[in-house]
Every structure is written in structure tokens, then in C-alpha cells.
Amino acid sequence: MDTTLQDPLIGRLLDGRYRVEARIAVGGMATVYRAVDTRLDRVLALKVMHPALAADASFVERFIREAKSVARLAHPNVVSVYDQGAEGAWVYLAMEYVAGCTLRDVLRDRGALQPRAALDILEPVLAALGAAHRAGFVHRDMKPENVLIGDDGWVKVADFGLVRAVGTSTDTTGSLLGTVSYLAPEQIEHGTADTRSDVYACGVVLYEMLTGAKPHTGENAAQIIYRHLNQDVPPPSAAVPGLSPALDALVAGATARDAEARAQDAVVLLAQTLEARAVLGDADLDAMPPQALAPVSAGAENRTSVLPRAVPEDRGTTHRTSRLEMPATATASVATARPRRSARAGRPGGAPRRGLYAVVTALVLVLLVGGGVWYINSGQFTEVPALLGQTQANAEKRLGDAGLDVESVDKAYSDTVDRGSVISSDPAPGDRVRGNDAVKLVVSRGPETVDVPDVAGISLADARKALKEAGLAPGMVTREFSDEVGRGEVVRTDPEAGTGRHPDSAVALVVSKGAPVEVPDVSGLSVEDATAALEEEGLKAEVEPGRVESSQVAGDVDRQAPDAGAEAAEGDTVRLTVSKGPPMVEVPDVTGKDVDEARELLEDAGFEVRVDRPFLSFSDTVASQSVDGGGTAAEGSTVTIRTKGL
């Protein structure tokens, strides 16, 4: 039985605009439907929040605010957000409809993928995340369920920013929000997530594409969490022998348990991925996964369930600006992952027809009664005509033609309705009103914009506060040297001050590291003298634990980081490595040997050689040496040999 027939939204015209046609997927936060925008006549996806969550006003407010921010993230590999609204208990997002399947479907049907296919999927995902990271967004819930692969080969990332709106809420199973198999250690341990958390999740997804299995599994979420915190992700080649070490290194770098050891964002990881691809040969890229690897089964840790997709009618070709060229392997995996269209069930032969008669009779009665009511009320009431999206002049004309007056016209900002067109009316289009009533119109002023404030020359904390007060979001912070702006103060913003931006847009900040300081050369100095020399330049010294053997005198600085001559900011730390002196080397016994042979033996052992000949001695035979044979001396020190006298 088709369970979608029991869904109250199927067949409904939501918000007077979106006709809900079929249910696509069910998740922990929302249900996704295929719908038609009756105003623009295009197919789209509606993500409708579960009514239990929609009852929380603060949650809905955060959900809407994040959705608006994500709607401004324009990238060909990001699922676009077109609109947001609410009707009664239904809070929804109108989003781009991607006909195809998820990466989870591909992995479930195919198991491990060839490296070429895995990289062809990973790269556009990282491109999308990279654009988001540089705009100040963090996905927080990267997993195969949120990677969509279109029938045309496009790869798109879904659910940007929606996890942030939920914060630290838990789902009905009591597990952390986000699929536990892809959570970075810092998300589990501290509840924090930044761009490196998305990098970690992408590394886990790459491992799963290459091996057909998750790196950390368990009977429950607690076991998986424990392994994330205490075990490194194993190299893919341990599960699929023959995979290139470059792929092992790529996975290891992305999934390092220490966030500092990972790529700092998806842009960096994408660069590393392209580098890895460059060193892989065709044999590495086209390596066939072992047939023994079973496709991934849907476990308790995969919260989203995907329902069979009904293929919509052809509504024309949508122009696209860019496209992922999928290889034959990836295309094949997409094709096999598509849910098959179920056959239509015919009416069983010989079934009673009383139900059909009852339906026809009821329809006849409804038509008759409805006609009567319409006739009685036709002289007293009229219906508000369609006004939404119409220009103010056209709307007023339509109202006049219907015998209605315009009571007032208010203006409001709108990101979706063109300037000068109607956003809403009161009463709403389709409502029946008395013929002498008036209608209030709300007309669009166009998108609301906020000017980026001038925060140059103030502290980072004050700059962030100023951006928030202006209705903007502080974005990514980068640092650079500046001779004019003090350390810790803002040099400039991107976009620059005075630029108009949508509310809640991210504004990147460039902060001064102060004037550059040239690092002095302190090698060969004592720790005390080296520290003093660095402090004179406004730098700090930090002595590394342990000492190293070197040619420097024990207790003196052997090396430093940064190196001498490098640029640093005032207050930066220079790490010092201290010498414990040169290594001690055994001295060979050269007494009785020819001077030339003795010199060669000593020099080969790492010593300098000095020859002492007694007065009027013409002998080339070594009589004695300054360090006895078998003894030890510092490597590089001088050993004196003395020839026989008269």
C-alpha cells in the first residue's frame, strides 16, 4: 500500500502556491516532498518541518533565520533555497528539486566505488563546502544522505546551515544531532564544530566510498562515539588491498583526531585531493573494488530514509551554468541506484461497484448543493482576485474590476517578490468578501540591504559587535602584517565598508598582526643570551623539551623556529632547540702507522688531525697520539699525532 496516500499534505496547495505531489524522504527534522510552484510552473522540493518541532517558536525563528542566510549561498553544487514560509502548523522551505538519488543510495546498491568515481563525487562536494566555509558557514552534518547525485550527473550538497538552527538538540533516540558515524571528535567531546569538522566528515565519506563500509562501527551510538575519540580512521588499503598510498594519506590527513592536524577548511582539502589525483595513474584510479565487499546496509545510525521516487512529467529543460562530468563508473552507479518505478495496480476483477456508485452520488450531491449556495450568495459576496506577484497597478485594476476598493497600501522588504509587486493582501486572494468591502495590499520594496559598517582600526571584538548590531554576521577572520594598523585591530572588511548586503550576510574580517619583525639569528648563543636578544625585538622565547647532539657547545642554542631572517609579529614566540654537545666517537689506534694512513683513519672517524714532528725528525711513523686508541673524543675535535724523533 502506498503510505503517501495517508499523508495529509499530499494533494494540498500549501500557502496558496505550492501543490504537494509526492513524498520523497523522511528525516528526523522534516519530511521532503516533490511539489509544483503553481506561480512559476516549476517542480521543486518542499522541506516541511515536523509539527512537533514547529510548535517551538524559538526553534522556528532560528530555522528561518538560518534558511535565509543559506539562501544567499549561490553555488552550482549547493541545493538552492528559493523560498520559506508557514501555513498553520506547516513550516517549510522551498528548495531546488534534484531528480536522481543520494550518495547513500549509491553506496547501498554498489558498495565500494572505484577511486576515480569516489574523487569525482568528493571534488564537487568540497567545492560546495569550500564556498560555504569562505562565506562563514559550517555544514555540521556532512554524510552521504546529504550528497545528491542528479540524473544528469550533477553532484549537489543539501541541508546547509539547517543543523546550526537546531544547536545541541537531541533526536528521539537520544543520540547527538548529526549522524554519529561522521561526527568529528571535537563535536562529540566539546560540542563545537568549525570548518575542520566538515573536513573530518568528508574524510569519513571518502573512506566509505573507497571501502564500502564506515571506518568506525558498533552495536550502538556509544560504541561508535568511543571509537571516534580513541581510534584513528584506518587506511582504506587495509580493507581494500591495492589502493594507492596517496588515497590512504588523503583519508588520514582529513580524519586526524587532532583538529589542528587536518586541512583547515574544504578549500584546502580540495587542493590536497587534486594533488592526490595528479599522482595517481589510470591503474590506481580505475582499480576495481573486491567483489566480496558487500554494499552498505542502512543501520540505526543512518537516520534519513529515502522513499521510492515517482518520476515527474517533463516540465522543460532548466538552464544550468556548470556541470560535473561524471565518469562511466560513477554514471553507472547512479543509474543502478535509482528507485524503480512501481507498476500500477489495477482494480481486482469482479470487485463490488457499490463504492464507486456511492462516490458518484456524493459528487452529484456536492455539485447540486454548491450551485445552490453560489446562486444565493452571488449578489452579496465577491471573491478577492489573484493579486500576489502582480504589480500594484495591475492589482488595483483587478480589485476595481471585481467591485472592490483598495483600503491601504503598505510597503515591505522581500527577497522573493520583485520591487513594486504585491507580497500579500488582507483579505487573501480567494477569500469571499462583501461587494462593498476594501482590501489592504502589501507591496514589495525589493530585497532589504544593510550597509557594511566601517570597522577599520577597532578591535576584532568591537568589529564583530558592530556587524551584529548592523544586522550582519561576522565571517571568516584572516590576519596579515600592517605597518599602519595596530596588532589585533581590523585592517579592512570583505566586502568593503559601505557595500550593501542582505541582512545576516557574512562579512569577512582582515585583522592586523602589527608591523613585521625580523627574527634575529640566536644560534650558538646561550639560552639566556638568546632570550634577551629575542625580547629586544619584541619576541618571546620558548625552549623545546629535550636536547640534541650538535656541533654547538652544550647548553647553547642549536636551531630556532622561525629561522633567522623570517618575518614575525610582535609578541610571537620563537622556539629554541638546545644542544647537548657533539656526539662522542671512539678514537682509532694509529700508533706505529704511517702518517698519511693515520690521518686518513682519524678523518674517516670524524676528527680533525694535527701532525707534530720533533725537531730534526724525518720519520713518517706515528709514535704517539693525543687521545689513546680506543678512547673517545667529541666528533669534529682535533687529535694530535706525533712522529718518532731521532
Q: What is the pLDDT of residue 62?
A: 73
* CA angle at 196 for the pair 255 and 206, rounded to the nearest 5°: 40
Burial of 64 from C-beta contacts in 10 A (0-12 / 13-18 / 19+): middle
Q: What is the pLDDT of residue 341?
A: 28
Note the CATH number of domain 584-643. Answer: 3.30.10.20
Preceding omega of 327 cis (within 30 degrees of 0):
no
Q: What is the pLDDT of residue 436?
A: 67
Catalytic residue among 83, 120, 141, 558: 141
Cα 594 to the center of its chain, rounded Å: 73
- 3-state helix, strand, coil split of the chain in percent (to 5) is 30, 25, 45
The structural domains of the chain, with segments of one domain joined by +, span: 3-96, 100-301+323-337, 376-444, 450-514, 517-579, 584-643
| pLDDT profile of the chain (646 residues), mean per 10 | 60 92 81 91 90 77 75 86 86 89 88 94 93 88 92 85 38 46 91 92 97 91 90 95 95 96 94 93 85 43 36 33 32 28 34 41 31 33 82 92 90 83 87 77 85 95 93 90 92 93 87 92 94 93 92 92 92 93 92 93 93 82 92 90 82
The domain 100-301+323-337 is placed in CATH, from the list 3.40.50.20, 3.30.420.40, 1.10.510.10, 3.40.50.720, at: 1.10.510.10
Q: Locate 78 and state its grid cell.
A: 549547493
What is the distance between the alpha carbons of residues 552 and 577, in angstroms, rounded to a whole number?
A: 11
Note the CATH number of domain 376-444. Answer: 3.30.10.20
Burial of 632 from C-beta contacts in 10 A (0-12 / 13-18 / 19+): exposed
Query: How many CA atoms does the CB half-sphere of 604 hold within 13 Å?
Result: 9
Q: What is the pLDDT of residue 2?
A: 38
Note the CATH number of domain 3-96. Answer: 3.30.200.20
**Topology annotation, domain 517-579:** Trypsin Inhibitor V; Chain A (3.30.10)
For the 450-514 domain, the top CATH level (class) is alpha beta
Q: Do domains 517-579 and 584-643 have the same CATH topology?
A: yes
Is 0.75 topped by the overall pTM?
no
3-state secondary structure at position 327: coil
Q: What is the pLDDT of residue 391?
A: 93
Q: What is the pLDDT of residue 434?
A: 66
Q: Is 144 left (phi over 0), alpha (psi -120 to 50) or beta?
A: alpha
Cα 480 to the center of its chain, rounded Å: 25
Q: Could you confirm whether 141 is annotated as catalytic?
A: yes
Q: Give me the torsion for CA of 202, 205, 211, 215, rounded to 10°.
A: 90
627 closest CA partner among 598, 553, 617, 579 = 598
- Please write down the long-range contacts of 598-604, taking CB distance under 8 Å and 24 or more positions apart: 598/622, 598/625, 598/641, 599/641, 602/639, 602/641
Q: What is the pLDDT of residue 262?
A: 96
Q: Give me the torsion for CA of 69, 70, 72, 76, rounded to 10°.
A: 170
Q: What is the pLDDT of residue 14?
A: 92
